[in-house]
Amino acid sequence: MKKIKIAVLCSGGGTNFQAILNAAEAGLLPHGEIVLLLSDHAEAFALERAKRAGIPAAVVDRKQVPDRAEREEKLLRLLKENGAELVVLAGFMTILSPAFIAAYEGRILNIHPALLPSFGGKGFYGLHVHEAVLKAGVKVTGATVHFVTAECDAGPIIAQRAVEVREGDTPEILQKRVMREAEWVIYPEAVENVCKKLTGEIL
């Protein structure tokens, strides 16, 4: 069976990266293989997760390489050298340039902690998303896996899962529930489904 080579890009803790690793270890990613973790922060805990899992990792640190174009050039070189066929963003805190996206058009995935198109776009990341959800008073939020395009959070939606907003929720409590009930569930599933399509097994 052909396996699609996956590179994961992380800036921080890498909880979604861990969810994908767990799925792979459980045999739930039969059409994909994680071949590389890339981070733009030398202190990212995701690097430790990669080390524990025996996944090769590399850092292109934002402090050492402040120019985005130069950073992206290095990242692309590492992706090519490792034969990456699918790029998975897992808490990667830099918006990618149109040139970078074009190099992997239709092959970059991201997960957003809300039900897009609501609460998406510039400035909507991390706890800011959950703060906005609570301020709006909506009863349901969730997570969305989508393809990355040049417009932030506007690419074709691959999967969504709804999560209840409860009385007394804080942004932190809601963030944890969305992670547990939505993000960690649908991201590994979506990665496998996209890998399966890329192998040509399903159209």
Active site (catalytic) residues? 112
Are 57 and 35 in contact by the 8 Å Cβ rule? The answer is: no
Separation of alpha carbons 45 and 48, rounded Å: 5
Please, where are the H alpha helices in the chain? Answer: 15-25, 46-53, 68-81, 98-103, 127-136, 171-178, 184-199
Residue 52 is which amino acid?
A: R
Are 38 and 78 in contact by the 8 Å Cβ rule? The answer is: yes
* Beta carbons within 10 angstroms of residue 108's beta carbon: 22
- State phi, psi for 38 to the nearest 5 degrees: -120, 140
